[in-house]
Amino acid sequence: MLRTGLRPHFQWVISADAVNLYKPSPKGYQLAEKRMRLWKSEILLVSSNAFDVVGAKSFGFKVCWLNRTGASLDPLGLKPNLVVSNFDKLVFYF
């Protein structure tokens, strides 16, 4: 995030490294609720990884899948709320 120049565009950057637990532990997701002081239903997680879609959606986050390659999601997995091909398209939804 720091090297991309995107940091100024985000109010929060939260990492599961802070709790030293990773997927599928809910503690990483709970960290976002705590730091942002929002309900999980108010949070949109954006990821280019299909497995993040399943984890975050099952926790209760709204999810945007950044699908740059046109890949298919696992048909048995949870579906994202939104699918975009690049960050520029994400802006049009807000």
Q: What is the pLDDT of residues 4-27, one digit of tens each?
A: 787 787 788 888 787 787 777 888
Residue 2, in any domain of the structure: no
**Domain count along the chain:** 1
**Distance separating alpha carbons of residues 28 and 15, to the nearest angstrom:** 8
Average pLDDT for 19-43: 87
Residue 51, in any domain of the structure: yes
The 10s digit of each residue's pLDDT in 68-82 is: 999 998 887 889 999
Average pLDDT for 25-53: 89
Residue 1, in any domain of the structure: no
Residue 8, in any domain of the structure: no
Closest CA to 63 of 53, 73, 55: 53
Residue 64, in any domain of the structure: yes
**Distance separating alpha carbons of residues 49 and 42, to the nearest angstrom:** 21
The 10s digit of each residue's pLDDT in 44-59 is: 999 998 888 888 999 9
Residue 58, in any domain of the structure: yes
Residue 13, in any domain of the structure: no
CA distances from 24 to 4, 59, 87 (A): 27, 9, 25
Sign of the dihedral defined by the CA atoms of residues 34, 38, 39, 40, in that order: negative
- Comparing 32 with 87, the larger pLDDT belongs to 32
pLDDT at 24: 72
pLDDT band at residue 61, thresholds of 50, 70 and 90? very high
Domain region containing 37: 22-91
CA distances from 62 to 3, 47, 59 (A): 26, 11, 9
Residue 61 maps to which CATH number? 3.40.50.1000
